[in-house]
């Protein structure tokens, strides 16, 4: 992007959580509390989630996508989030023992849990079965065999969906594209594996096949990608006469001023029309993650070091980095930035915002426009960090993971405390 294309007006409210408002001094408030006050109290880096935004997206998803819609916990999960989605009537998609145990700790009813994973262990499957998990989305023949093996011991029968790959390339980054034939996920329709899996289910006493599942990828903006995948999957699933069809997640969200994405309501409408057009009789559900959580949060950092390279660029180093947001490094994802105490000001100064990890790839925003003359100790923030930020966080360089707050109506509550170096040291054995 050349400099003239980088937006230099104030950060648009459309990229901020729903409750974002501007205070008298030009400062940002979320959930009725100033970001500056929260940063002073909880320190930086800090994830701030607008709880009402999360709740409103859950309600929108339930209305648009129907009963049985599951929030994909991989986008962001903790006990408070698992409780929130359950209170709002959504089911919860978990994809590992850790996510499952989080759901159990939050007392999410078993029947509302959907278990995913391309390599579920016997232990994970056993835990899910003993907790009465509602749906296991089976990904491989090995998993079918494991379920049969467990059934022979405990007599339990799992209600399952089979994950199929429609052989459709979603228009998204290769690393988050999952619907193509060459994928580690699911049973290929083209190869005949999906048909074989259905036959195996029919002769397996340990599973009750109730439906088909697809997920073509993540951060998908083009509704035609979903529609094409549905055509293929429905041609496979409808003749089976199964009662359920899950279309997975994947709806893209806007991270930048220049992007726009369909709303959850528009996505639901497109799916409904496509399913009606294809004569789907099964109950259709979905698994949105990013579209519920992404825009609900911002990450707040403090500026630590500024390095001017005349004629080249200015580097602004903050107290976080790819440890709290690996998406730019993993996918080359673009973010924008703003100064939470100066949100009404134009952003005329172009800076590269970098983290403090020992890697040159530790870039948070490649070309950030910020108000002029920000200095050491000032706050900068990145919007749209509620999905696949904290959940993908690492402790590289032994940097502890930041705390996470939920704010609503003038109150803040800590939902994940900040990790300390002492926490990390507890794992070490002398």
Ligand X SMILES: Cc1ncc(COP(=O)(O)O)c(C=O)c1O
Residue 260: partners with Cβ closer than 8 Å, 6 or more residues away: 254
Measure the CA–CA gap between 334 and 74, rounded to whole angstroms: 20
Is 74 a binder of ligand X (CB under 6 A)? yes
Contact string (CB under 6 A) for ligand X, positions 192-231, x = contact: -----------------------x--x-------------
The yes or no reply on residue 290 touching ligand X (CB under 6 A) is: yes
What residues contact residue 118 under an 8 Å CB cut-off, 6+ apart? 139, 140, 184, 185, 186
Point out which span in 10-18, 144-152, 246-254, 343-351 binds ligand X (CB under 6 A).
246-254
Nearer to ligand X, 27 or 124 (CB): 124
Q: What is the largest CA-CA distance in the chain?
A: 71
- 3-class DSSP state for residue 116? coil
Return the residue of 289, 321, 371, 389 that touches ligand X, per CB under 6 A. 289
Pick from 52, 60, 88, 287 the residue near ligand X by CB under 6 A: 287
x-or-dash string of contact with ligand X, 35-64, rule CB under 6 A? ------------------------------
78 is catalytic: no
Rounded to 5 degrees, φ, ψ at 340 are: -60, -20
CA dist., res. 130 & res. 238, Å (int): 31
**Residues that contact ligand X, how many (by CB under 6 A):** 16
Nearer to ligand X, 146 or 215 (CB): 215
Q: Work out whether 251 is an interface residue with ligand X (CB under 6 A).
A: yes
Q: How far is the C-alpha of 45 from the C-alpha of 57, rounded, in Å?
A: 25
Give the number of other Cβ atoms within 10 Å of residue 185's Cβ. Answer: 20
Stretch of 154-162, 244-252, 350-358, 401-409 contacting ligand X, by CB under 6 A: 244-252
Residues numbered 122 to 141 that lie near ligand X (CB under 6 A) are: none
| Residue 321 beta carbon to ligand X: minimum distance, rounded to whole angstroms | 23
The pair of structure tokens assigned to 110 is: 């078993």
292, 265 in Cβ contact below 8 A?
A: no
Candidates 53, 116, 120, 401: give the one binding ligand X (CB under 6 A).
116
Q: Containing H/E element for 144? A: helix 141-154
Say whether residue 352 binds ligand X (CB under 6 A). Answer: no
Question: How many Å apart are CA 420 and CA 426, to the nearest integer?
Answer: 10
As given in the structure block, the two tokens for residue 211 are 């439906």
For ligand X, what does the binding mask look like between residues 88 and 107, x meaning CB under 6 A?
A: -----x--------------
367 scored as a contact of ligand X (CB under 6 A): no
* Site for ligand X, rule CB under 6 A: 72, 74-75, 93, 116, 215, 218, 248-251, 287-291
Annotated catalytic sites, by residue? 358
């Amino acid at each position: 992007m050349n400099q003239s294309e980088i937006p230099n007006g104030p950060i648009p409210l459309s990229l901020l959580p729903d409750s974002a408002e501007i205070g008298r001094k030009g400062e940002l408030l979320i959930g009725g509390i100033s970001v500056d006050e929260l940063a002073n109290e909880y320190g930086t880096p800090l994830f701030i989630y607008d709880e009402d935004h999360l709740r409103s997206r859950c309600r929108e998803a339930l209305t648009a996508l129907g009963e049985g819609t599951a929030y994909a916990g991989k986008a962001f999960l903790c006990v408070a989030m698992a409780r929130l989605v359950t209170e709002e009537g959504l089911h919860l998609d978990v994809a590992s023992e850790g996510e499952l145990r989080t759901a159990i700790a939050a007392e999410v009813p078993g029947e509302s849990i959907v278990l995913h994973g391309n390599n579920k262990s016997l232990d994970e499957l056993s835990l899910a079965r003993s907790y009465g998990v509602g749906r296991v989305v089976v990904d491989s023949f090995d998993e079918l065999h494991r379920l049969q093996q467990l059934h022979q011991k405990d007599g339990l029968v799992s209600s399952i969906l089979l994950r199929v790959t429609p052989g459709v390339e979603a228009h998204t980054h290769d690393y988050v594209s999952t619907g193509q034939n060459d994928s580690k996920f699911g049973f290929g329709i083209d190869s005949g594996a999906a048909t074989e899996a259905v036959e195996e289910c029919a002769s397996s006493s340990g599973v009750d096949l109730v439906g088909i599942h697809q997920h073509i990828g993540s951060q998908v903006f083009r509704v035609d990608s979903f529609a094409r995948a549905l055509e293929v999957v429905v041609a496979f699933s409808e003749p089976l006469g199964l009662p359920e069809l899950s279309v997975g997640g994947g709806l893209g969200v806007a991270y930048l001023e220049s992007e726009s994405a369909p709303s959850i309501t528009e996505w639901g409408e497109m799916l409904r029309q496509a399913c009606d057009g294809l004569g789907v009789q099964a109950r259709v559900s979905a698994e949105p993650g990013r579209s519920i959580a992404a825009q609900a949060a911002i990450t707040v950092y403090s500026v630590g070091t500024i390095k001017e390279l005349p004629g080249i660029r200015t580097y602004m180093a903050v107290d976080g980095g790819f440890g709290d947001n690996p998406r730019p490094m993993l996918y080359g994802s673009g973010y924008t930035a703003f100064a939470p105490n100066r949100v009404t000001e134009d952003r005329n100064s172009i800076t590269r915002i970098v983290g403090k990890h020992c890697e040159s790839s530790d870039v948070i925003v490649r070309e950030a426009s910020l108000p002029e003359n920000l200095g050491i100790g000032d706050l900068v923030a990145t919007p749209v960090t509620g999905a696949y930020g904290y959940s993908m966080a690492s402790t590289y360089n032994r940097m502890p993971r930041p705390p996470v707050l939920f704010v609503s109506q003038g109150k803040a509550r800590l939902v994940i405390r900040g990790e300390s170096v002492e926490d990390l040291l507890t794992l070490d054995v002398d």
